[in-house]
Amino acid sequence: MAINNLYISTPKYRWDLAKNKILDKGNLDKVLNDPIINDYCTSISDITTQNLQKVCKASQVIHLVDIDLDTVSKQDFEGHDQYSYGRLFYELIKVKHKVQNFDFINKFNLDRFNSLLGSRCTDDPVLWTLGCSFTIGEGVNFNERYGYLLGEKLNLPEITLSRSGASLSYAADQLLRSDVRSGDIVVWGLTTIQRFEISKDWELEPKTTVMYPSLPKHMRYWSLDFFDSTTNITLSIHKILQVMNFCSKIGAKLYLVNLLDEAWILPVLKDYEFYLDLTKTFPIEEHLGTYLDTGTDETHPGPLTHKWYAEQIYNFIKEK
């Protein structure tokens, strides 16, 4: 072992140079060949990812200073890459017995990423609803939402996987990871294609293109052109196809209901037997639907519109 205690922190951390010896790629070989063992301080940028393995192996004890999952996730907002931290944790796990202040890694596993907006609480058939603010019911009471009303009409408990601003990808992901079973009914309130998610503190936050310019510069990973590109349209339609395939395989009854999109959803899904379009009834003015009424926010559909949605979907399900 060429290093006694190795202290690793972020590139922004300021060591007391009068008390600490700095290890970097410039003096690394000299330190590793030095017969005298010392303590050193460093960061990933000082030693570079290429040298992480040899440094971890050469250290007797490794201390993390101001590095945890929260500080790492914030690196996105400061324009730093996450590959280097992934490489660091990759090497530290291999020498975990040496590492101090590393208990947080035990909670960094699949469970941290497997959050769902709703869960099953019965073995009997249920109604799953998924979508965006229209389905979660912004501007109306919970029991005024079309999903709640539809559940009453069908005499099924409703589990909603909806979230304001959610993209098609987000909705599909929620359903594909849920405990959907044969005999269940799934109603997907389809939204516009031009939506996306950003990870914050290892959780996905739905965003719309209207919000895009206000994001930190380093988190604008795409150009605005991407969201209306054939690539994004194709990827979004593939998400719908994945849900269709999933429900078909397990024997759940899927109904795709377009509540918001006024572009590509209708042309693509017009021939699908279980597709219902509830946008064409209302006139479109400057890309904003006009509804029977609006909710308390004066933007989203109100109670009368949700009641109409529930009736139309219920009749469609019975017809099919």
| Residue closest to 212 by CA, chosen among 223, 199, 200 | 223
Q: Is pLDDT above 70 for 79? A: no
Judged by DSSP in three states, 270 sits in: coil
Find the mean pLDDT for residues 167-178. 97
Residue 171: the pLDDT is 97
For 14-23, 116-125, 246-255, which range has the lowest pLDDT when averaged over its residues? 14-23
Is the distance from CB of 209 to CB of 195 less than 8 angstroms?
yes
Say yes or no: 97 and 188 in one domain.
no
Q: How far apart are alpha carbons 190 and 188 in whole angstroms?
A: 6
DSSP for 88-147? HHHHHHHTGGGEES-GGGGG-SHHHH---S-----SS--EEEE-SHHHHTTTS-GGGSHH
- pTM for the predicted model, two decimal places: 0.84
- Residue-wise pLDDT tens digits, 111-145: 888 888 999 999 999 999 999 999 999 999 999 99
99 & 231 share domain: no
Share of the chain above pLDDT 90, in %: 68
- Percent of the chain exceeding pLDDT 70 equals 94
- Whole-number Å distance between alpha carbons of 272 and 185: 17
159 and 250, same domain (yes or no): yes
- Among candidate residues 108, 140, 173, the one where a domain is terminated: 108
Q: 11 and 159 share a domain?
A: no
- Nearest Cα neighbor of 88 from 9, 21, 4, 23 is 9
Same domain, 149 and 58: no
Per residue in 94-109, pLDDT (tens digit) is 999 999 999 999 888 8
**Coil/strand/helix, residue 61:** strand
Last residue of a domain, one of 83, 108, 133: 108
Whole domain around residue 261: which residue ranges? 115-319
Angle 61-88-56 from CA coordinates, rounded to 5°: 35
Among 17-26, 72-81, 87-96, whose mean pLDDT is lowest?
Answer: 72-81
Whether pLDDT at 270 is above 60: yes
> What is the four-CA torsion angle of 170, 171, 174, 178, rounded to 10 degrees?
-160
Does 207 have pLDDT greater than 80?
Answer: yes
In CATH, what number is assigned to the domain containing residue 124? 3.40.50.1110
Among 69-83, 140-154, 197-211, whose mean pLDDT is lowest?
69-83
Determine how β-strand 195-200 pairs with β-strand 203-208. antiparallel
132 and 83 in a common domain = no
**pLDDT at residue 47, rounded to an integer:** 92
237-248 pLDDT, tens digit each = 999 999 999 999
Domain count for the chain: 2
Q: Are residues 174 and 258 located together in one domain of the fold?
A: yes
Which of 87, 108, 129 is the C-terminal boundary of a domain? 108
Give tens-digit pLDDT for 211-245: 888 888 878 889 899 999 999 999 999 999 999 99
Q: Residue 100: CB partners within 8 Å, gap ≥ 6?
A: 61, 62, 63, 64
- Verify that 15 and 164 share a domain, yes or no: no
Same domain, 223 and 155: yes
One domain, residues 148 and 254: yes
**pLDDT tens-digit map of 284-313:** 554 445 688 889 998 899 999 999 999 999
Q: Given this model, what pLDDT does residue 286 score?
A: 45
- Cα-Cα-Cα-Cα dihedral of 285, 289, 290, 296, to 10°? -130
For residue 86, pLDDT beyond 80: yes
The pLDDT value recorded for residue 172 is 97
Same domain, 120 and 249: yes
Place of tokens 């389809």: 190
**144 & 212 share domain:** yes
